[in-house]
Structures are given as C-alpha cells and as structure tokens.
Structure 1
Amino acid sequence: MENRYVVIDLETTGHSPINDDKIIEAGLVVIENNQIVETKSTFFNPNKSIPPFISNLTGIYDKDVKYAPFFYEKADDIIEVFENSYLIAHNVPFDLGFLNAELEKNGRQPLNNPIIDTVELARILFPKAPSYKLSQLAEYLHINHDEPHRALSDAIVTAKLFLRLKEKLESLPYETIQALLNLEEKFKSDLYALLLRRQEDLAFSTNENELIESFQGLAFRKTELSNGQTVTMEQSFGDYLDGIYEENGTLHEYKVNYEKRSGQREMSEAIYDAFHSKEHALIEAETGTGKSLAYLLPAIYEAIKSNQRIIISTYTTQLQSQLMEEEIPLIKLLVKFPFKAAILKGRNHYISLEKFVHELNTGHNDNYDIVLCKAMILVWLTETETGDIDEINLPKSGYLFYKKVSTDAEGIIDPYSPWFSKSYYQKAKKRAQQANVIITNHALLCTDIFNDYQFLPSYKKVIIDEAHHFEDTASHHYGLKIDYTNIQYVLNQIGHTEEMKSLGKILSNYSLVSEELPLKEWNSVFDSVKYEIEDLFRLLFQYVIQQRKNSKAVSDIGRIQYRFDETKEDPEKWDIIKEMVTRLTFYFRDLIHVLALMEQYLSHKELLDKYDKDDLNGISEHLQQFIDSFEKLFLTDDRVPQVRWIEVDTKGTNNAVYLYSEPTDISTLLKEEFFDKKESAVLTSATLTMSNSFSFIKKRLGIPVNRLTTQKINSPFSYQQQVQLMVPNDFPDIKYGNMDNYIYATCESILSLAEITDGRMLILFTSYDMLKRSYKLLKETMDVDKYMLIGQGITSGSRTRLKKNFQTFDQAILLGTSSFWEGVDIPGEDLSCLMIVRLPFQPPDHPVYEAKSNYMKEQGQNAFMEYSLPNAVIRFKQGFGRLIRSSSDRGIVFVCDARIMKSRYGKYFLNSIPEVPTTFDTTKKLMEKAKEWF
C-alpha cells in the first residue's frame, strides 16, 4: 500500500452533491513505485441536463453522455481500483465528497482510504508558487496540461504533480522533516508514512546539503554576504551609453528584436545631467519609453563614478522585486562590470528565525491555518536567501501568525546573540550598506524621511519612480489611521491575566510567583479600557449619524464620512467626546504602568526570559501607539495643518468607526525635510503633467524651483494608427438625476461594443456603487453563455487573479474601479476596448478633498483648477494608458462622459494624452465606425 497511489479527478454538473449535482466524467490514474502504470476514463449518464456553463468549461455536452453508463453500473469497479492504495486528488474534499455521496446513494460503503490532497501538499512543498489552481501549478512546474477541465487530463497532471511533490519531499533536510512530522497530525493529508520514510532514509545517509545550515533544530539556506570588488569608472557617460544603446551596443546583443527608442537614451541623459548639476528633476516618460532601464543605467554609473550609493524608490514592493529579478540581471549583462544592487524593505517584511523557532516549540494548540503556515515557512526557509515574506504565498489568515514571527516582533536584538548573525533583516541592511544601488519603496522612504533618516543607509541622490503616488504616500505616513475593530482585535489578543492569550501565556510561565504580581489591578483596568472604548466608539458613531442628518457628512465607498474640526463642532457634545478620550488615554497609561511593574518584579527575581520580555514590551508599544493616536486626533495640535475625519460603516455594528488624519498640505514638510536636504531627487512617472505642464506636481510636492529641471519623453508608439477615441453625444446627463438612465446607456454600449470586439473589454468606473449596478444589469441582459463577466469586488480574487481570469477566457468583460486604473498590463489582443464610464474626479464632499480645497481657497488659490482637475487628469491618463502596452496593440478608448468634449475644462484631458483620432457622435454612429475600424 505504501507504494500504490490512485489519483482521481471528476467532472460534475455542479458544485454540490447535496443539490443533486451528478458526476459526468471520471479519470483515474494508478501510480506504483513512482511510475504511472494505468489510466482509466469514463463518462457517466447523470440522468439530467448538463448546465451550459459546465459544457463551456469542460467541453462535455448532453450528447456525449447520452449513452454512457449510469454510476451504479461502474461503482464496484471503482471501489476495486482503490483497494490497498492512497486516494489522491487536487482538492480531495470535492472529489471524495462526490464519489462517496454516489457510492452511498447506490448502497455501497464510502471509501475511507488514506488521502493525499495535492493542493495542501503543494502549498507546503512549493510555498513560492503564485497559485494552487491545477492549471497554474502545472504551468509553474512546466508540466504539460493538454485538456484542462477534462477528468483524465486533470488526473494525469495531478499524478505528475504528486510525483514532483514526492521528489521535493525527498530533498528536504532532516530538521525540516522532523518539524513537519511534529505538525503532521493537523494536516488534512495522511503524510505520516511518507515523512517517516524520508526521515529514516536521512538517518542512514551521510550526504549533507552544503547549502543548508541548521541551528536549534531549524534548517535554513545559507546566505553569505559577499564583499565584492571595487570598480572604478574610467568611461565617459556618453561612451557608456553608446556601448549599451547604439546599433552595436549590448542591448541589441541581449534583447532579441530590440527596437532602439530615442526617448530611453534621452531619459538616461536627463537623469545624469540632474545628478551632475545637483538639481532635482521631474521627468514624464510616456508608456513604452522603457523607463526602468533608462533610470537604472545612469544610477549605476553615477553610484560607481562618485562612489556614493543611490536610492531607487518604487510605489509597491512587487515593483521592487520586479526591478531586482528582471531588470538588474539584464543590466549586469549589459554593462559587463560588477556592481551591487540590494533590496531593502521594512522590518515587517523579514522573518525572524529566533521568533519562528520559539513559536514552533510553543504552539501546541494551533489551528489548521497556523499549522499550514508553519509548514510552508519550514520548507521556504530551505530555499530563501532573503527571508522576505513577499516571496511566499501565505493563506490570508496566515499573515496574523506571520506578524508574531516577523523581525518587527523581535524588539531590539542583541548584537551578541547567536541569532544576530543569522538575521535576514540585519543581512538585508548590510547588503544595502555595501550596495551601489538600493531599491526600496515609497512607504519605507517616507518612514525614513519622517523619522530623521533612521531606516535607510545615508544617501544624497534618489530616483522616485511612479512619482504621482509620492504625495499620497507621504501624507499617509505622516498621518494616521485607527479603528474600533483593530483596537478590539489587539486587546482581545492581549486578554486578561487568567486567559491563555498573549499576557496570560506569558504569566503562566511564572505561576509560582503570580500572587506577587498585580494581576487584579490589570484585569480591573483592562475591563475599564474595554468599556470606555465601546462607549467612545458608540458615541462617535451616533455623533456622525446625527451630523449626517444635518447634511454635514457624506456617504462614499459604503461608509459615511465626516470631517471634524474642533472649532466648528457642537461644544457640549464635543467636550464629552474629548473627556472620554482623555479618560481612555489615562487607562491605557495605567495598563502600561502595570506591565512595567510586572517586568520589574520578574527581572528583579531573575525569572523573566528574553522572549517574554520582548512580548511584554510589544504589548506596551501597542498601547502607547493607541495613546499617541488618540491624542493626535482629539487632544493636540500638529505643527502641520491636518484634516481629521471619521468614517462609519452603517452596515456594520454601531461601533464600526474608523478615524483618520492627514496633512492638508505636505509640500512645506517635503521641501524642508527632503528636497532641501538632498543633492538630487529625480521623480519620474508616465503621468506627471497636465496639458504638458509640471506646475501641479511641483506645487503639491514643494520642490524648490530654483534647482529644478523638467523633461517630457514622448511615447514611441504610433497612437494615430493604434487608437481611436470615441465619445457619445447622446448619453443622459447625470447632472439632472439621470443615474439609472446613464447606467442603462453605459450597459447598452458595453454590449454593443462587446459584439464588435468579441469581449476583450476593460470598463473603468469611478464609483463602486455604479460598478455593482452595471454588473447586475449586464448579468440580466447579456448572453451569459457567450461572455465571461468579471466584476472587481463581486467576482472573488485579487486584482492579479481577476486579470488572469480575464486573459484566460476568449470573450471576457472586466469591470474595475480604483486599483484597475493603473498598474494593470493586458497587452496584445487580450484587450481591444477600454471604456471610461466617468471622468475620474474625486467626490467634492470627500473629507480630504474638501479640507484641501478649503485650505487652498484660504491661500487665494483656485481649488478646482489647481487641485481637483489636475488629479482627475492624471488619473485619466493612467486609465488611458491601460490600452496600448506595445507597438502592435490596437484598440478603442470609449469615454461615456461627454464633459470631455463639452465642458470648458475638457480640453485639459484631451491635451494631456497623445494626439489620437477623436470622434464625438451618436452611439449608433460610433458603433458603426468601431466595426469598420476593427
């Protein structure tokens, strides 16, 4: 039995045997001694019609199963195949659930074989895989998959996947296997025998993997820090670029079919000039410029020539990884001399080996999700050289566990601790210290700026990519956010002294002296804190609802938002809120005092161990953060003018309250704390200008104009030939309350264009409510068998998952809002039509917009022309840029909002995108033109 495995895959009429869904096809694959020895496949007559969606997915139609056997005719044959074997499936509960339901319906005993679920096993053994769907795992592991969603093909791929998983298991070191054995009883798969066999093999083996080291029972990959070699730069910058960009340059050598783009070199030269003249620069590089390469080349040259490190900041950690994994290896080939590039992220991104070992040894009552996370991390540690958690595909709930074992949870690590030399974060910092170029993200850059430059190694020159996000990121980092749910979560994690929560677990280690500790005092104050929080947030909720009745608050994103200003609030009610906040901060201080007494007593008795001390300090830090946040929001004035606002979720409990603050204007702060202190900051993006002017971004960021250069790099794409911009002149005007009619007209146009473009449409909304209503209407009116309709926030999955689903189906329509306006690349024929439903203005009564507008009016500025319009234009440019991603793309941009043609400000939108043929006509005429053009 240990060497016999039977893989099963079923196709069914639906998801649930309880709903009388039936099996329509079964595929079986028998594995013996690590070889596929037999395959079987059969249709079953379900005695009911197969739904069209299932037929589209599987290619199995009623005619295929009309003369197939009924399940009962083959039931005994199936039972016989599974004798003395493991049952394997990709998602066992589904296949075994259907199989056993059918067996029981037909008077047979359900199967109770030992099982192996390849979804679970793949999660554990391939923790870096981007997805655990069978087709995507097959692609990741280069397993050929001929017919996805056909039973035998899926079963064969699952069998090959299992053999690869078995192979991976047999490469793991002894310590990892031992740790997995300790977790095995919580797994869904029966892995004990497989793990034990591997452990026994290792016990008699002398082969040790030189790349693996072990410490305190944990195996992890060795990561050596290289000293590298010093390089001097003798070449002039012009010769350096000639050797890369020109006809006989290395770019042509290493990039097949590389087309020379004059803008790319132009951008490199502009950055080099800014560095040398010690100026700041704003460079708008339109889509297709190849800006990553264009800014990395001068950064590397300048870093080596001047022997100064240069910082490169991107908007997201994903973009950081992309630069490091894709662009840097290419540049190493292009420049043909050694240089060092390093990624640096915040402490919370790196795992602490010490904390992880501690959790492995203490978490004996963990639930399944935590056990799965531990198993994934155990295997990942044998592979990772960075310890960066972004490499691993943790389940959502796993991030709560990960917080406990990140470097952030360590407190101050002792440099003399044996763990210090093994710390991934310390190694990342050391790599950054030694690097010529450090790749970081806006969040860490802003944290560094506003904390006296403590987080990044010192630098004088910086390149900020995706710079249109820099103001918002800086504002978020200088501001704060606090909410009822998060406070309650933190407090529930801490708990009473007798509960087995964070504090109770610490104190349970000192039960012999517990009567000496102020336990009753903690519990009493802790109860008061919980009561005060309930009271305060309930009052804030009621206060906002009351203000809404007075038309002082607005509803957006499903929440009511209310901007508060102490000078304008009802004094009687607001004083009560301030009194409650003050009382709450005193209670929090009392809790911190009790924790300090506990720590002092246990330290004095020389009982307190390092981990418990770190955890006590961690609890104190959380409580202090709450004090600081409440004081900043309600009790003190900041030197920078702030907008403070409350959001309440009317669909949640009557405590579902979120509190925010952000600077009204961060420009002065950025000027004084960043631009005045740095020799040269180069800011680049595809969208920095409005009507070819940089004045908006200059003002918003506070860049000193006396040492600023600006440059606009045009796209190499032929927009005149590649794009048609179409605007209907007969849509209802929303201004007159025609929202329903507008949505109806939008959906009609979507369906008409879908016929012309075979789907392949991305529809960008500015409002989630409008997206939901459009989705519902489209579902009711479209041919659901013809088009795959995907709606952000409705169809489950992340932005990346929705994009992949969109690309998987031949005729798909994707409805997106917010994050889909930028950073989504869908090149080629997958996307033929981009529809922009409304011009992307922020709601005028959004608290932040309202506060910034008022502030600008007080300064004598025109808030619409200098804030609202430029923001909308930049957002529009981002959306427009989704369509054309290569020189061979073609498509239509359909803007439903006629204000782009009719309003006095419409020209700013049109003048800010590349010149394209534009048609303003009836919807009927536009459809005729679209059909003809395609």
Structure 2
Amino acid sequence: MDGEIVFSQPYGEPRTEPHAEPRHARHAAHAQTADIDPVEQLWSFVAAAGNSDAIVFDTETTGMGADAHIIEIGALLISGDEPIYEYDQLIQPHVELSAGITALTGITQSDLDGQPDAEFVIPQFLTAIRPLVLIGHNVSFDIKMLNIEGAALGCREVTNGYMDTLRMSRRMFPNAPSHSLQEVMRLLGIDEVETHRAVSDARQTWQCWQLLSQMKEPKLLADDEIAESRRRNAAVKRRHASGFMRSSYLSNRDTTPVNARPEGESIEDFTCGVTVSGDTKHQDELSRYGYDAWLWVTVTHGVIDSGRNAGHPTLCVSLDGQEIGHIPALQEERHRGQVPPEGAVMMAHIPNSKNDKENGVYRLRLQMPAENDD
C-alpha cells in the first residue's frame, strides 16, 4: 500500500514514516447482510480485522463538538490492497437526534431505536483496529470521535498511523476550491453521489484513495474547472442549509395529509418546497383546508399553456381530482427527471405565512426532492 502514513499525535504535530508491505495474503471480499445480528456482525468484524492491513472507515455523528456522539460506523477492512470485509452498524446515542443531522444523513430517531449503544460497539471496535492503518476522508475528525466515545468508556486512545484522502486531494489538486468527498469524487471522475451514510462514504473514500495514490504528480485545474467547482460547492452548501432549516421547521409539525390519498405510486420527499403557479385561481378549494394543511396531490407531466414560457414542459398539480396549477419552468428544469412518466402521488403544503394570512391568500407548495446538480 503506497502513500504517506501520518501517526496520530493529539498534542503535537503529525510525523510521517514509510509504510511497510502488506502482512497478510489476500482474501475474498465479504459483504454484510442488512439483517445480520449486531453481536454476530461485530465478532465477524473482529475476526476479519486480524487478517487485515488497513481499515477505511467513516462515522456519522450527532454533531461536531466534544459533546457529540457516534450514531453510525461504516468500515472496509483491507488486505493486500483489496477489501475483504464490510462493517456497518448504527449506534444508539441516548440523546435526541437533531433535525439537521436527519436532513444530512437520512438517519431518524426511529432508526436508532433498538440499536446497540456505544458501550457494546466501541471497545471491541477499537481493540480490533489497533494494529491497522486508518484511511478516511478528513479522518482526524473520525479519530477524534472514536477517542471521545472511547474516553468515556475507559478505552486507550487511538494513535494509529493514518492516511487522509482530504490531505491527499489538497496535494494532488492544489488549486481546487473544495475538497469535500463529493467534490474529490468529481475531480477523480467517480460518478457517484455522497449519501452521508457511513459505509457508503467508506466505499467512496476507498475509491478516492486508490485513484489519488495512482496520480504521479499534482494537477492544476483550468479557470473554467475552478468556476464550475465553486458553483457545485455553493449549490451543495445551499442544499445542506436549506435541508437543515426545512427539517427544523418540520420537526415541530404534524405533516400527515388531511385529505384522501389518490391511487398511484408516491414520492414522499420534503427536501424542497416548490411554488405552484395558478393556485391563486383556486382559493375556494385551498381555503377549505386552511393554513398549514398538508395535502395529497397528484402530479403529472404537461406543458405550460400560456405566457412567455408557453410550450415549456412542466409538472401539473391536481388536488382532489381538480387541477390547481403547475410548477414554473425554472423549477421544472431544476427537478427534471424526478417524477416518473406516469406521474406520482406527492405531498403539498399550504404555508402559514404572516403575509398570506394578512392578505387572505392561500398558496400551495409542492414537496420535491433536492434540486438536480446540473
């Protein structure tokens, strides 16, 4: 395994040492099943770690500070430059999960109910990985989180050598505006989306590590590549901020639709609220439900029939069998491809805004997945 190994020194500067050759023969990769017993999975992981040289891992947490807790560990054990075992485990933190973390990771409080706590997972995990080189993206954060959890359980501090794909990317793409895992994948030509789930991020980090290790010299981005990278990074930040704010807003509200659900496949995603044009012509229908009502609607493909965007594709929104309006042309472009050709049953919301109430206006916002990147 090529590359520079950094040794964890919490109270000093990192130092580097050459990496030794792999110690073990190669083994067949072993993928975990989703319903495997946590005890069986942990002991299988411990056994496989004894035949490994390195571990690529990621954690999902309740936050960033010293009071944060790990809620998921995902890892790939590596032997002879090949993955031989995957480990993925949710952890019950015994604290309330914030709406922002749920928005980022998709992990909900109910997902953590019944999961083992840190006392069950962390000590065995730390013991198993002590001989291994650690690989991660911004791996110092994940090491810090392991040490926070470990210290509370009386475990010895993690001081393993590690390799960080964030540091490697900064060295190989010195003028790139962003070195997030998602952007590093784009720079390396990996056509995948970061999901902010631990084992998925670990797999993607391993792909990045392999490609970064093969680069012979740094690459400078052209001006147009820098501009495009900045645009993508800004869009991701806006999406994360919007998702956090939206989840915080929704966390105190009952989003159960109050009308009858139409027949059809559904898309239930609250990431973006999209304005519905033409809804002001249907005040009688909307006022029957009132402000802050959540509703089932039917969404079908159509075209805008008038105005400067006449003929442009759109998504038509129907409430209780009556067409209420359509989404604007720009929003259709941002969300193109998210609704299947046959249409879908989706959710909509009548906002409880001060301005609308003062003017006696009822508006409808269609709940959509995140905007497309392109």
Q: Which has the higher strand share?
A: 2
Q: TM (normalized to structure 1)?
A: 0.21
Higher Cα radius of gyration: 1
Q: TM (normalized to structure 2)?
A: 0.50
Q: Which has the higher helix share?
A: 1
Q: Larger relative contact order (C-alpha < 8 A, sep ≥ 6)?
A: 2
